[in-house]
A and B are shown apart, each in its own frame.
Chain A
């Protein structure tokens, strides 16, 4: 186990290092000089030079890379060109929207998918099973941002039960915050719930054919008892892996959904910074999102190995 953890940790560090290199390089070769963009075309050369020095643009690429990574490691994500605020403060404000939204969507996805998958597997080949499978095909094909618009049309505009967008902030009560995140979370959860239902169904079908299931029936358990006590528990291993992966999908997916609902999360921060060409913010926020996703995948791998010892020897 120790060896496995070390190996996975090594690849975590390597992934983060390569990710930081890629992001830094992409931002470096971006056309346009940030300093002249900020000051406009009429800027005096001296002012421009002063700003370039202030932003560290006169240093070598290597120096800038080291300074950026070093800063990220110590919690200093740089300062926004446009807002003149530390990026860490901007991120701290917005992460309180993006992470709860992803968690909310994940909860919905699991709540829908596990019963639906078990229901379909237990009735394999029957009309209800085919109905569930058909629904999952639709669920996978529907773009979540389009589904979001339809939800707004029905639940916010027609029936007025949920807000069409915006976020009141957690300071105005947990319920109000949750209400504002409900439609976005449903929109995000739909395709993931469809995928998870299919995984749950096929994992359970695999398990149902196992010898120990027949043994369980032979010793006198009912079909229902066998399914819940032995079937579900064993089928949960692949399901949990996908759940872990889905969290990182959902976290990245919030970027688009936040646009539809005007939610002040990390995604909106990225887009606002893109249109302002505030590249320091783009660079640091993208790195943070990638870091989050890689970290989640790492944790999922470890959790998986803890549950299933066979995997520790995997190469």
Chain B
């Protein structure tokens, strides 16, 4: 196990545990306004300080991380649920009209700038976590379809698939029983990358007011609130920002480390 992999796993696990913990316990009630104790610097009774309404920042970061992780995770599930079967089907029928339609459809979704589409969807249907999930989930579909197809295609040339065909198994059964287990590594790696991207997209959407709505804390929203107060209390901007960086860094290191561990030949797509 490489050092980046361990660091990534620890960071990711730490934040996921913190997010889970926030379901049952936070140091303070994040809805509790305590104006006399507003803008407290970190340390003292509030470990990470308080915001302009006297709310405990650590509690808000815990719940904010939970929100970001939940949004990114559901969007990931959307991408996997639709993308993987599409990719498997395209690979099983390489060169057919089905393959053509799936891959051209993918090209078109890819051509859309993700952020612009997310803004359009959330702007029109109203800003909410659900719409942020839909926007990013849609974008995840072609990503997973492409990765699955790319990994599945060379497998179809292999002897063990031939053997399965000779044994009389159909294309869909082969896809599920033989192709899918062999592309799983790749999906896990791509999954961590898309997970990290989801955290960033959620933060960006919340930052411009199109993501999770108050009073639910979200890391992006906390940064937006901090924008006017950053000179008075820099920790308001620094704490949520560092939280986003650490989650994303952890997931990226985890993804890179898993990639190297699971398949040394595999290279990450650069962009």
Which of these binds chain A: B12-20, B54-62, B223-231?
A: B223-231
A239: nearest chain-B partner, CB-CB: B270
CB neighbours (8 Å) of B123 from chain A are 270, 274, 282
Chain B residue with the shortest CB-CB distance to A192: B271
Across-interface contacts of A271 in B (CB, < 8 A) = 208
Asked if B27 is an interface residue, CB under 8 A from chain A, the answer is: no
A-B contact count (CB 8 A): 126
**Chain A interface residue number, banded:** 35 or more
29 A-B pairs, CB-CB below 8 angstroms?
Answer: A11-B104, A14-B108, A15-B111, A26-B121, A31-B125, A137-B253, A141-B196, A141-B249, A145-B223, A146-B237, A146-B244, A149-B223, A149-B226, A149-B230, A149-B237, A150-B241, A157-B230, A157-B231, A199-B270, A249-B113, A255-B115, A255-B116, A255-B119, A256-B208, A274-B123, A279-B124, A282-B123, A290-B111, A293-B113
B-contact 0/1 string along A211-224, CB 8 Å cutoff: 00000000000000
Q: Would A286 and B244 count as touching, CB distance under 8 A?
A: no
Tell me the bound Cα distance from A142 to B104 in angstroms: 33
Asked whether A146 and B119 contact (CB < 8 A) given A141-B249, A199-B270, A238-B270, the answer is no
Report Cα–Cα, A52/B131, bound state, in Å.
29
The reply to whether A202 and B270 contact each other, CB–CB distance below 8 Å, is yes
Would you give the shortest CB distance from B223 to chain A, in whole angstroms?
A: 6
Footprint of B on A, CB under 8 Å? 11, 14-15, 18-19, 22-23, 26-27, 29-31, 137-138, 140-143, 145-146, 149-150, 152-153, 157, 195, 198-199, 202, 238, 242, 245-246, 248-249, 251-253, 255-256, 259-260, 270-271, 274, 279, 282, 286, 289-290, 293-294, 297
Is there an interface contact between B116 and A290, defined as CB atoms closer than 8 Å?
A: yes
Asked if B65 is at the interface (CB within 8 A of a chain A CB), the reply is: no
Stretch at the interface among B74-82, B144-152, B166-174, B199-207: B199-207
Contacts of B112 in A (CB 8 A): 19, 22, 290, 293
B95-117 interface bits toward A, Cβ cutoff 8 Å, 1 = contact, 0 = none: 00000000010011001111110
New A-B pairs, 13, CB < 8 Å, besides A27-B124, A29-B124: A138-B245, A141-B249, A146-B223, A149-B227, A149-B230, A199-B270, A199-B271, A242-B270, A252-B114, A282-B123, A289-B113, A293-B112, A294-B111
- B251–chain A nearest beta-carbon distance, Å: 9
- Report the Cα distance A199→B271, complex, angstroms: 9
Of all chain A residues, the one with the shortest Cβ separation from B238 is A150
Q: A19-B108, A137-B252, A199-B270 are in contact. Are A270 and B119 (CB under 8 A)?
A: yes
Q: Does B120 contact A (CB under 8 A)?
A: yes
When the two chains form their complex, are residues B270 and A282 in contact, meaning their CB atoms are under 8 A apart? no
A15 & B107 in contact (Cβ 8 Å cutoff): yes
Q: Which of B108, B200, B270 contacts A143 (CB 8 A)?
A: B200
